[in-house]
Amino acid sequence: MSKKHFAIFIFLLFLVLNSTAQGSVKQMNSLNKGPKLVVGIVIDQMRWDYLYRFSELYGSNGFNRLVRKGFSCDNTLIPYMPTYTAPGHTCIYTGSVPAIHGIVGNNWYDKATNRTIYCAEDLTAKTVGTESGAGKMSPRNMWTTSITDELKLSNNFQSKVIGIALKDRGAIFPAGHSANAAYWYDNGKWITSNYYMNDLPNWVKQQNAKDLPSFYMSKDWNTLLPLASYHLSTSDDQPYETPIKGEKSVTFPHMTSQMNTDKYESFKYTPYAASYTFDFAKSAIENEKLGAGKVTDFLAISISSTDYIGHSFGPNSIEAEDAYLRLDKDIAGFLQYLDNTLGKDSYLIFLTADHGVTQVPAFLNQHKIPGGTFLDLAIFNELNQSIEVEFGIKKSVLSVQNYQVYLNKEEIILQQKNVEEITQKIISLLKNKAYINNAVKTEAIELASLPELQKKMFVNGFNPKRSGDIVFTTLSGFLEGSNKGTSHGAWNPYDSHIPLLFFGWNVQQGNTYRETYMTDISATIAAMLKIQMPSGNVGKVITEAMKVRKND
C-alpha cells in the first residue's frame, strides 16, 4: 500500500470511528437523559392470551407493534389474591402487595366504623366537575408511595403526573398521592376531586362540552369485521350473556343510537369508551404539554370498558373479541400520535392488566368443563343462621367478601363465647360446601396446609387492619356472582396471568418466559429512570427488558 493510499485509508477510518463514536455518545446521552414521557397503559380485565389469540386479526401497528418492537414478559403473574381492579392498579404502580399498601379489594369491611367502605372513598373530598357525589374520592386509603410519586420526588416535583380512567380507582391509585390531576368518568363527563383542584381546567371543560359520548353512541355498535370472521368466539346469541343496560338483545348490532335514558351508563359497556379515553389522553398531553419540559412526565391511562364488556358477555364472546380488535386500532392511533408529538424512542410505555377473568361458568359447563357460581350473601346468611342455632349468637359474621369472612369478635366475646371455637365451626361449614376447596384462619395462613403458591398469594393479600378473619378458596371455574356473565378475583391463572409489555425508550427488543410479577413493573421503571423505588416495593428489576448502558 502506497503512502498516499495509506493516508486515505487512515482518514476514512477516522471518519467512520468518529461518526460511530458520536452516534454512540448521542445514544448514551439520550438514554441517560431519560424519556420525555412515561405512559402506563392498564387494560382492565385483559388476559395474557389475548395478545396472541387475536394476533392474526390485529393490525401491525397496535398490539403487534408493541410485541414485535418491544419486550414482552410472557409469564407475568399477580402475587396475591383477591385479584380485583383496585389492588391490581395499586400493585402495578407501588410495586407492593395489599399486605403493605393497604388496598385489599375494591371494597372491604371496616371494623372501626362497622361498615363496608369503598377503596378510594374520601368523605372529606368534594366533586369537581358535576353536582354528583362521584368525586368524593382520593388516594388517602393507599399507604405507600407510587412510582409516580417517586418520579415527582426525584426532581423536587417538577414532573407532571396525570391519571385517566373511566373508573375512579383506575385513575386515582396509579396517579399517586402527589399527582397534578386524576380524572374519571361520571354521567358523560370527565370529573375529579378537590383533593387535586378546585375547578376543572378550561381544556377539560371544553372536552366535556363536546359531549363525545353522545357522538359515539349515535353510531350503533356493529362488528368491525364480517361476523363470520369471529371464528375464535362463541356464536352470538347466548342465554348466559347480560344485555347492555337499555337493550334487551345480546346480539349484534347493538342499537346504541336508540339508548336514551341510560345512554351515559351504557356507553361504558361499548368499545367506544376506550376511544373516548384515548381522545382525552391526547388532549391531556397537548394541553398540559406533557413531555415538553426538561424533566420526564408521567401519564397513567386505564382502559375500563374492556372490564365492563367482559363481565357482561364473557371472554369467549364476539363482543369481547370485537372490543379488542377495536382497542388494537386505538392503541395504534395513540402510538402514532406519540411518534408525531414526542418522536420515536422519546417516550417509554408499559402495557399490562390489573387482572384476568374466568370463563362464563355456563359456557364451561356446555363443554363439560367444571364451573359454577355462588353468592357471598347466601354464605353470609347461612353462616349467621348456623352459628345462631348452635351457639345462640346473632350476627356473628359481619361480612363475607373478597373470599373472606369477617367475624363479629366483639359480640362473640360479649356473649361470653369462645372465638376460636366459633372460628373453627365456620371453617368446617365452609369446607363442607361442594365448591369450596379450603378455608383457613387468615392470621395462621403460614401454618396452613396449602400449596406454596396459594399460601404466598394469601399472605401477600392479607392485611390485619382490613382483611377478614377467614379466607377460603373455591374449585377451578367457580366465581361469586349470578348465572349470567362472569367475574374474577381468584388465585387461578385465568385471573392472575396478565400481559406485560415494555416499549420505546431504553427498551430491549425480545421476550422472556421466566416468572415475573406485577410487582416488578415499578421496580423496572424506577431502574430505567434511575429513581428510587416506591416505599412499599417488593418487586425486582426485569433487567432483560432494558438496554445495557455502558456506564452501568
- Enzyme catalytic residues: 85
Task: Determine what percent of the chain falls in helix, strand and coil, rounding each to the nearest 5.
Answer: 40, 15, 40
Report H helices in 70-219.
85-94, 98-101, 147-154, 168-175, 202-209, 212-217
The 3-state secondary structure of 398-412, one letter per residue = EEEECCEEEECHHHH
Report H helices in 392-444.
409-414, 419-431
In 3D space, the residue among 36, 50, 30, 7 whose CA is nearest the CA of residue 355 turns out to be: 50
User: Which three cell numbers mark 12?
Assistant: 476514512
- Give the whole-angstrom CA distance, residue 521 versus residue 67: 17
Report H helices in 433-519.
452-461, 493-496
Q: Which residue is associated with the grid cell 352470538?
A: 236
Distances (CA, A) of 58 to 228, 427, 445, 456: 16, 48, 44, 36
Helix (H/G/I), strand (E/B), else coil: 186: strand
Burial category of 279 from C-beta neighbours within 10 Å (exposed 0-12, middle 13-18, buried 19 and up): middle
Helix (H/G/I), strand (E/B), else coil: 251: coil
Q: Give residue 384's Cα distance to chain centre.
A: 34
